[in-house]
Structure 1
């Protein structure tokens, strides 16, 4: 009965039926996106392998609260990875196509092109490296495939609301941070859940596989911050699938980045953010370990993107309606390099 009432009350993009259709279309796009053979992103410069080992060694001593300050300083200098990209003629970028206002296919856009804050950033990086913002090939990457896609060479980078953490720094390289966010709870407006607190006792909570949201849920169940009766077993490959589970009444709440939660609340007026963000996290552009020239070039782009107003213009276009013009997220984070 509760599930039927919830389904009746949820509107979104036409309710559950429309959302299911959107998800089906998303799967079709994933299958239809052009495939190429994995390509090399360029051999490391002399000593590059040692640099990768050094990066991992430093990551072993880092704290998650400081992980966003461990990227390389900006540079426009060429290198083997940049040379390989230019020789190929396009930048390969792993993105989301289901995150409203971040990386998504707007059903009202007849071209079917990807739109959103992360998509704008990917176009800007392509323009700075190749002189043409359209010389970019987008690949739809599920949440749990972001790191494997980078390490296997399927993509040059991932621009997909990816939080910088110490564990991830052992596996991939990150740019300086380009967005401030934090974890938050999303639940039906009528729910008695009040946030990341005791109100989650006995509740089913959904999170994305391999996300920082699940990491926090798992750790906090062990350390007692979350009630022992909170069920966190439901995980999904794509974070948006949690919203569908919520709409279907299969879970009681979702834990995800506040930036993504706000966008999902905008999609579906029957759900709302509960409580406040309970972590402080930063998104970064993820790249292959040892691709130092590419990391430095992306950091140069981010510096320019902040200074010339491109970042703010993109934020105002895509995110201000859901996150606000005066929120802490409305200002690009200040970069600090190792």
Structure 2
């Protein structure tokens, strides 16, 4: 077990007490963390196509939502953002940063960019660590202005929140011990225990494929945890046989523990977006403009952040991770 992996175990040993097995009663845990009926999920899929395109055109204009953020006074004049603090190189507390575990990573760079544009101060941010299954409730309850947390844009989630244009491309992949007979997302998962994060697209995909017969019937997908990194701990403790998560996150977890590796190829294509309240149109437009600027900035933008945080785990060629050219198909 690597040094970083050992640190993860120590940091999360108490968090394991919070993990759950199974799904919420009455629905699926595959979208928001709140129960979503299969009928509602099916309706969303029928009515929605190309969810990554269903966003508003960019604008630099301030509106009601942005004005409310700017009107906060004193120490409260900050952008409140839901992030992860356990995803290595995405949003994590670096114990070696010399600043009491300052949050770092690709998502964190993007948050600072948004804060600088809206409030004129890259550090005018109140970070809130949000578990995977609480991302949408945190937005809907007004606990955060937005969530920037490796959050996949999909149809079911668009029923409950608004998304920016995509800022990263990824896909689901299997992570397992190097010595494991598991070879990828295939028949080698038969009689294996799989861990996913509650409320994740990974769990939704596993559940869908198992019902459709595309996944071996004997595959056990009941183990879900509040935070994705908890799955790595479960794998290290021998409580599960494999993890299914976004390839970008899986690569970071493999970097934390050299005894595990990605198995097979990514078997979906997904896009990360910034999530906000459904009626926060001005904020959605502003974030989309910031993303345009972030991609075009050749000195301190998207590519620079990729090189700093992700090239070591995803490779120097960023082309597979670059989001598609944005399409702004959503109307007011």
Match of 2:325 in 1: 334
| Separation in structure 2 between the aligned mates of residue 254 and residue 139 of structure 1, nearest angstrom | 26
CA deviations on 1:122-181 (whole Å, 9 max, x unpaired) are 000000001110011100000000000000000000000000000000000000000000
SS of 1:329's equivalent? Answer: coil
Q: 1:97 aligns with which of 73, 79, 85?
A: 85
Q: 1:245 aligns with which of 210, 213, 234?
A: 234
RMSD (Å) for aligned C-alpha atoms: 1.7
Match of 1:120 in 2: 109
- Kept in 2, the 8 Å contact 1:127–1:135? The answer is yes
| Separation in structure 2 between the aligned mates of residue 59 and residue 330 of structure 1, nearest angstrom | 25
Q: Which runs of 5+ in 2 are unaligned?
A: 17-42
Matches within 5 A, 1:294-309: 294-309=283-298
- Kept in 2, the 8 Å contact 1:120–1:314? The answer is yes
Matches within 5 A, 1:289-328: 289-309=278-298, 310-328=301-319
| Separation in structure 2 between the aligned mates of residue 189 and residue 12 of structure 1, nearest angstrom | 17
| Separation in structure 1 between the aligned mates of residue 291 and residue 262 of structure 2, nearest angstrom | 30
Q: Post-superposition shift, 1:113?
A: 1.0
CA deviations on 1:218-240 (whole Å, 9 max, x unpaired) are 00001111000000000001010
SS of 1:187's equivalent? Answer: strand
Q: Post-superposition shift, 1:83?
A: 0.2
| Separation in structure 2 between the aligned mates of residue 154 and residue 107 of structure 1, nearest angstrom | 27
- Kept in 1, the 8 Å contact 2:153–2:270? The answer is yes
Residue 100 of structure 2 is aligned to residue 109 of structure 1 = no
Match of 2:27 in 1: none
Q: Post-superposition shift, 1:330?
A: 4.2
| Separation in structure 1 between the aligned mates of residue 15 and residue 109 of structure 2, nearest angstrom | 20
SS of 1:290's equivalent? Answer: coil
- Kept in 2, the 8 Å contact 1:324–1:330? The answer is no
Q: Post-superposition shift, 1:58?
A: 8.8
Residue 48 of structure 2 is aligned to residue 62 of structure 1 = yes
Matches within 5 A, 1:137-286: 137-286=126-275
| Separation in structure 2 between the aligned mates of residue 231 and residue 176 of structure 1, nearest angstrom | 35
TM-score (norm 1): 0.85
Match of 1:80 in 2: 64
Q: Post-superposition shift, 1:207?
A: 0.2
Q: Post-superposition shift, 1:22?
A: 2.1
SS of 1:126's equivalent? Answer: helix
**Against the structure 1 CA distance between its residues 222 and 12, is the aligned structure 2 distance closer, same or farther, given a 3 Å change threshold?**
farther
SS of 2:182's equivalent? Answer: coil
| Separation in structure 2 between the aligned mates of residue 253 and residue 59 of structure 1, nearest angstrom | 28
- Kept in 1, the 8 Å contact 2:170–2:321? The answer is no
TM-score (norm 2): 0.86
- Kept in 2, the 8 Å contact 1:13–1:19? The answer is yes
| Separation in structure 2 between the aligned mates of residue 110 and residue 26 of structure 1, nearest angstrom | 24
Q: Post-superposition shift, 1:26?
A: 8.0
Bigger helix fraction: 1
Aligned residue pairs: how many?
A: 296
**Against the structure 1 CA distance between its residues 59 and 198, is the aligned structure 2 distance closer, same or farther, given a 3 Å change threshold?**
closer
**Against the structure 1 CA distance between its residues 197 and 113, is the aligned structure 2 distance closer, same or farther, given a 3 Å change threshold?**
same
Q: Which runs of 5+ in 1 are unaligned?
A: 1-9, 28-56
